[in-house]
Amino acid sequence: MTFGFFRLAVFSPKLGLADCAFNSAHTINLLQQAKAQQCGLALFPELGITGYTCADLFHQTALLEKSNSAILSVIEATKKVFDGLVLIGAPISVDSQLFNCAIVIHKGKVLGIVPKSYLPTYKEFYERRYFSPAINLRSAEVLLFGQSIPIGADLLFAAEDFPELILGVEICEDLWVPIPPSSFQSLAGATLLTNLSASNDIVGKAPYRKNLILGQSARTMAVYAYASSGVHESSTDLVFGGHCIIAENGQLIAENTRFNREDSHLIADVDLERIMNNRRSTGTWADNSHDNNKSFRKIGFQLDKAGIIDRSVPSSKLLREIIPHPFVPANSIELKDRCDEIFQIQVAGLAKRLESIGNTPITLGVSGGLDSTLALMVICKTLEKINRPFSNFKALTMPGFGTTSRTLENAKKLMTALGVSFDEIDIRPLCFEEMKALNHKPFEIEINALDLNTFIGLLKKVPLVKKNDLVFENIQARRRTSLLMNRGFVIGTGDLSELALGWCTFNADHMSMYNPNSSIPKTLVKFLVQWVANNSYEEPIRSILLDIAQTVISPELLPLGENDQEIQSTEASVGPYELHDFFLYHWIRNSFNPEKILFLATQTKFHKPYTNIELKQW
């Protein structure tokens, strides 16, 4: 099983300007490297056989003849040294014109030639002086290198034995126009877009170029591989940095360091199944193809497993970063921005709901845990935003049999510091009487003849292995919800991870009138609380929030041991949230099947190591 992963190489090699024999020999050497890395495609820069900056030498027959000979040597070499697709750049003479072309080669055969569509002839560029644009091409095929070869900007290359791979090709400036050829190629089915480029470097151009590539890969929902010529081009007028990038649906997969004096390359695995899944789930992508329908000729070929990552091979290791916590940006600046945006979305959503219900009292159960703390922060900021008095907010803290002194004190201290009025209702007497009415024997304890304090004392002696009583837990959860529902408009606290797992009590904490946390995964809730602490509040609120962020995640429903020991751990029951959120992200966002998600989990590093058995368990 492949899961749609495909390995490709992008090269910015050393160059001998107008030295076609050197360039072709060097290309062949690099193909050997690509084969050793099990790549299925090797992409080289624009006019890499001759060099981009040959200027009026492009008018010379001698250069064109040497270029054709060099191309032929690469074609012959691909019969032995490389099994995948090879894309090289060279001038091609046809229809009494010269075209700046990408030559697509596979196992000793030229599959097709794609001429550049848009030739820059402005500012520092003079390409129309040497070349004709693709639109001037009259022939659909050209006789070259001992074969009749399809030529045109209407070519796509489809792997018949790997349907996820359809290759589109454009050249440098083609990307920079308002509607690049790759846009039409993607709408015709291309999943892997390639660009052979010779993009010079001036101050500020590199980040713009990078954003252009990322944006095009996102817009087309495709992989975009980009290879540009480097520092050995002529520097008479320009300097070239050899920029190489691989992007996937707007995500940067790999990028090199520019201005290398030696060869520069990227080798990475791209996920073409992800591309297909995203397109299927985005209906407007297919709608757009009807409005911009261009006819393309599809050239078929057989990959014969070249570049296809077979996950059944035990040593399969993906050459791409698999982010262990996809909901939580690793970059601190990005994480801060993400938290700010999420918090503002939560506030905006709740504000609209509160404005709609008028002056109805609102209420929240505050436990001193992460989720209720985040909801409390959202409520406070929302009331400030819409200029509502805190007097309309009636919070509750409802300690039960599993409540720790740490969480209870944090809840009360935080509400007091925020200026939120609250009541404390000890639910233990209410729950104790309900258990008696039901003739329930919690943990096999006969309670009908006991008083509450005696019962609490006995609970502390229940062995850890016997602390399993769903009725005991649910009575507490439903009692809390009943108190809240009879008090006002209930703000919920359950997060996305809990809702996805069903980690809640039916007819209890799974209900509310509005829940600002319902789309926030657990791994992000902690960072949101920390962000609010560090960016919105001073002491003592900051310290309270930071302490809450370090609290063990627990529903606090099972009884404690002596001195608040044996605290109930959610993750001990349902598994690590970092795993659940990883699984959830790839299931919801990428529509991957369980086998692929498990494979991805083996390819990353979580906060702690997990065996394959543990990964399968959760």
Identify whether 436 is part of a domain: no
Is 116 part of the annotated catalytic residue set? yes
564 plus 582 within the same structural domain: no
Q: For 96-123, what is each residue's pLDDT tens digit?
A: 999 999 999 999 999 999 999 999 999 9
**Are 590 and 560 in a shared domain?**
no
Residue 452 in any domain: the answer is no
Q: Compute φ and ψ for 255, nearest 5 degrees.
A: -150, 140
Average pLDDT, the chain: 94
Tokens representing residue 124 in the block? 């520092």
Q: Which residues contact 270 (CB under 8 A, 6 or more apart)?
A: 5, 6, 7, 8, 192, 223, 225, 246, 248, 253, 320
Instruction: Please indicate, yes or no, if residue 453 is contained in any of the structural domains.
Output: no
pLDDT of 1 strictly over 90? no
Percentage, residues of the chain above pLDDT 70? 99
Residue 337 lies in a domain: yes
Is 172 known to be catalytic? yes
- Look at residue 530 and tell me if it is in a domain: yes
Q: Is 394 annotated as catalytic?
A: no
Q: Which residues of 300-321 are buried (b: 16+ CB within 10 A; e: fewer)?
A: ebebeebbbbebeeeebebbbe
Domain co-membership, 19 together with 150: yes
The boundaries of the domain holding residue 490 are 332-427+476-570
Marked catalytic residue, from 20, 46, 101, 394: 46
The pLDDT-based confidence of 500 (bands split at 50, 70, 90) is very high
Same domain, 359 and 231: no
Q: What share of the chain is helix, strand, coil (3-state, %, to 5)?
A: 40, 20, 40
pLDDT in tens, 550-565: 998 999 999 988 777 7
- In a domain, residue 306? The reply is no
pLDDT, one tens digit per residue, over 519-557 is 999 999 998 999 999 998 999 999 999 999 999 899 999
Of 115, 105, 114, 117, nearest in space to 145 by CA: 105
Q: Exactly one of 20, 39, 54, 172 is catalytic; which is it?
A: 172
CATH of the domain at 60: 3.60.110.10
Based on the fold, state whether residues 195 and 243 are members of the same structural domain: yes
Q: Single out the catalytic residue among 66, 107, 116, 522.
A: 116
Is the dihedral angle over the CA atoms 94, 95, 101, 107 positive or is it negative? negative
Same domain for 351 and 260: no
pLDDT digits (tens, 9 = 90+) for 194-244: 999 999 999 999 999 999 999 999 999 999 999 999 999 988 889 999 999
Helix/strand/coil (H, E, C) string of 573-614? HHCCHHHHHHHHHHHHCCCCCHHHHHHHHCCCCCCCCCCHHH
pLDDT digits (tens, 9 = 90+) for 245-265: 999 999 999 999 999 999 999
Same structural domain, 41 and 100: yes
Number of structural domains in the chain: 3
503 with 410, same domain? yes
Identify whether residues 532 and 401 lie together within a single domain: yes
Residue 119 and residue 226 share a domain: yes
CATH of the domain at 503: 3.40.50.620
Asked if the structure places residue 444 within a domain, the reply is no
Instruction: Assess if residue 553 is contained within a domain.
Output: yes
If asked whether residues 254 and 346 sit together in one domain, one would say no
Q: How far is CA 241 from CA 11, 228, 253, 312, 506, in A?
A: 12, 8, 19, 39, 61
* Same domain (yes/no): 422, 490: yes
By the 10 Å C-beta count (0-12 exposed, 13-18 middle, 19+ buried), 527 is classed as buried
